[in-house]
Amino acid sequence: MFALKFLWSPDPVFLSLGSFKLYYYSLMFVIAFVAGLYLMKYFYKKEGVSLEYIDPLLLYMVLGTLLGARLGEVFFYNWEYFQHNLLEIFLPFKITDAGWEFVGFRGLASHGAVIGITTALYLYIRKYKYASLLWLLDRICITVALGGIFIRIGNFFNSEIVGKYTGSNFGVVFLNNGESMPRHPVQLYESLGYLIVFVVLLLTYQNEQKRKQSGYLIGSFFALLFSVRFLAEFVKESQGGFGEQLGILTTGQWLSIPLILLGIGLSIYAKKTKPV
């Protein structure tokens, strides 16, 4: 049988200048936001919305994403640790017996990011009032799906959020983690899944009737993207959290179920409402 085993041991640092280090994971975040920025400019130009709203939108998105994802990691997955290390929640340092160690913000949860982004956009649209929250979410969700592609690639470079052992000659051996057995490259599975979701959403946006059904795109986003996440969890190593106590499903799966149902509900609601 043809073996598809790949040895993976990348340097997680993309660029090092003295004491400054730029990690691939951080680079992927930057690429995600920049790509999303240009995509939103395309949407605004296409629909005749002033580009003056873009810069503050980017600020709200960055803050909402980082704060929400960080707090999601803290409360959904690692409260047992962070309740004794409160300073580390918002500081890019790990407190050790030897002192302070710079580690960056590597603990981020996508379900928390959804809450953070939605909250940030609610506050944003209350201030600028040029569209409805659903109108904005229908377009932002396409950029978020695009960003997810790059974030999971960043996880792959970091050799984190790994898959389960395949039990065969197929898979990726994460040498940086001191391993010798192949695992499912679940980060790449998810990245590919998010690429498909992105393409579906972008093609749907191009359909003028669907685009004008307020809530249809964000509903499709929730249903599709978190279905990808739900399925990927079956071959992903447990990340802990309350799912460990509930059993059967992982924390990521329990958190995905309400978002999938919300997405289906929003899509049904959008189809029954008059296009605007």
Distance CA 217, CA 225 (A): 12
Distance CA 251, CA 255 (A): 6
Query: Is the torsion defined by CA of 124, 130, 135, 138 positive or negative?
Result: negative
Parse the chain into domains and list their residue ranges. Answer: 12-272
Can you give the pLDDT of all 276 residues of the chain as single tens digits? 345 888 999 988 888 877 677 888 889 989 999 999 999 999 999 999 999 999 999 999 989 988 887 777 777 676 666 666 666 666 655 655 555 555 555 556 778 888 999 999 999 999 999 999 999 999 999 999 999 999 999 999 999 889 999 999 999 999 999 999 999 999 999 999 999 999 999 999 999 999 989 999 999 999 999 999 999 999 999 877 776 677 789 888 998 999 999 999 999 999 887 666
CA distances from 259 to 14, 29, 32, 246 (A): 34, 23, 22, 19
Q: 267, 247, 266, 200: which is closest to 228 by C-alpha? A: 200
Q: Tell me if 227 sits within 8 A of 196, measured CB to CB.
A: no
The whole-model pTM stands at 0.86
Query: Is the torsion defined by CA of 93, 110, 160, 35 positive or negative?
Result: negative
Q: 273, 154, 124, 144: which is closest to 210 by C-alpha? A: 273
